[in-house]
Structure 1
Amino acid sequence: MNETIQTLLAHQSIRKFKEQPLTEEMIQTLVQSAQAASTSSYQQVYSIIGIEDPAIKKELATLAGNQTYVEKNGYFFVFCLDYHRHQLIATMAGTNIDDTVQSKEAFMVGTIDVSLAAQNLAIAAESLGLGIVYIGGLRNNLEAVSSLLECPDHVVPLFGMAVGYPDATPGLKPRLPKEAVFHVNGYKKDEEALPVLEAFEQTTATYYKERTGGERQEGWAKQMARVMETPNRLYMKEFIESKGLDKK
């Protein structure tokens, strides 16, 4: 097992960081690593906003649900789906790309591009001995986040990432067994999948019981079902369309 794979398998979300900022060289290396990610048809449909102003970090922490590690970390990145740049190059080229930019496929391409770039940055950070945690809580109020970061039309902040020197080691969280996520030559039948999920439910219930000293004994399936029982952030469709995206 090589060092890269060891880094991948050792991933854990860090939610407490030391008060030690990243160096400028580290920041540049992380952004370059993000840019090296695969991108659909060379489109590079993303932008990364580095948050260095303490006041902005504090406001983002509030908007994300009062998550302190959004404010207190070595550096904070916001990953954006970005077709504004493509609108600029369309103007340069004297053409119109509105129909493409407003399509469902374009929104999927942009979302995938953003995710690939972010994961490259995450792996690069962890390879340097840093910790990371993704912050989807920015989507609690994207209108306010977008305004705060002065994002124009066709730019949507999808999530953030706090990076820094870990000041806590929460330990590895169990992942679904390979048999639950890896299918060969077609999707598995439910009768094959259910026993695997039931076993994982027991594994995760035991994990939470031991981690919390018995205060929590809810397994993965019950936790996910409870979380997903009530739809969240239902304003999203309207907001995305207001940005000139995903209309077709």
Structure 2
Amino acid sequence: MNDMLRQPTDTGTGIAPLAFEAVTVTHRGQPLLGPLDLRLAGCHRTLVMGPNGAGKSLLLRLAHGLLAPSAGRVSWEGTTPRQAMVFQRPVLLKRSAIDNLTYALAVSGTPRPERRDRAREALARFGLAPLEKRPARVLSGGEQQRLALARAWLTRPEVLFLDEPTSALDPAAIRAVEEAVLDFHRRGTRILMTTHDLNQARRLADDVVLLYGGRLIEHTPAERFFTQPRTPEGQAFLRGELVW
């Protein structure tokens, strides 16, 4: 593997590495992603970046098993970890905020007597306690994202996938979501997150995956990427010149 694709090493985590081997995704014969070779290891916060259409969301869906590659292999090099995913537009039930959480606990097999207390604890952690009886689908965009994160928190994921979770949110909501992401990571959760926001990536990333036109351009420690990108595409992206 060449230097520009070398990721940080962290052997202090029990989370299995995730490997993409010669992965491609096509639709009606048109290539959308790949061929892609990528290995993600350690308990890092990996930010996936690139212009619109670069393949960021496809990569996340492949990683979480929501999409099968057209060719190649996506696999965990060991025991498959517990996972959760938060989408750009949260998928919430037509129920109250707390009932969205108790339903998730019921599905996961949590005994009924424990569900409401655990749900209330999660609501409080994410600043949603006053809204527990509010219908989830009438909450603001930022509140819905925090509810989705609270639901993920209850599953105790070892890996959390986030697809543009702060898109179209106001600054206060963005800050709340970012603080929640950091809270997950402090608890030992590996983060794989897409974003189009360079400043957000600077705040959150341990390492950066840069995609362009469905190809992997760089996988680089964040500090190096933002100071010395190794490719012309990386340099152009930081200048705001890399477009689809």
| TM above 0.5 | no
User: Which of structures 1 and 2 has the bigger CA Rg?
Assistant: 1
Instruction: Report the structure, 1 or 2, having the larger strand content.
Output: 2
More helix by percentage: 1
After TM superposition, the score normalised by the length of structure 1 is 0.30
